[in-house]
Amino acid sequence: MKLKYFAWVRERVGKAEETIEPPASVRTIEDLIAWLIQRGEAYAHAFEKPKVIRAAIDHAHVKPDAVIAGAREIAFFPPMTGG
């Protein structure tokens, strides 16, 4: 699956996107974030406050307990403000 990172999440990870194959134990957005944090310091920094990170699966906003099976693209971004 493809992961996309936006705004300061992208800046902290150091890339705009990547293709990954998480282990079978990674079933939800929460699991994916926990797995990403284990991948290194940049990811740990980007996801240090996972509750503020927003996610979308195939362009649809989802909650942290959303199942990622079958996802083609998952995007992570900080909360949005403004109007």
Just give the CATH number of 2-77. 3.10.20.30
| Beta pairing, strands 73-77 & 2-5 | parallel
Cα–Cα distance, 23 to 25 (Å, whole number) = 5
Write down how long the chain is: 83
Provide the residue-wise pLDDT of the chain in tens; the chain has 83 residues: 999 999 999 999 999 999 999 999 999 999 999 999 999 999 999 999 999 999 999 999 999 999 999 999 999 999 876 55
Strands across the sheet with 54-57, in order?
17-19, 2-5, 73-77, 54-57, 60-62
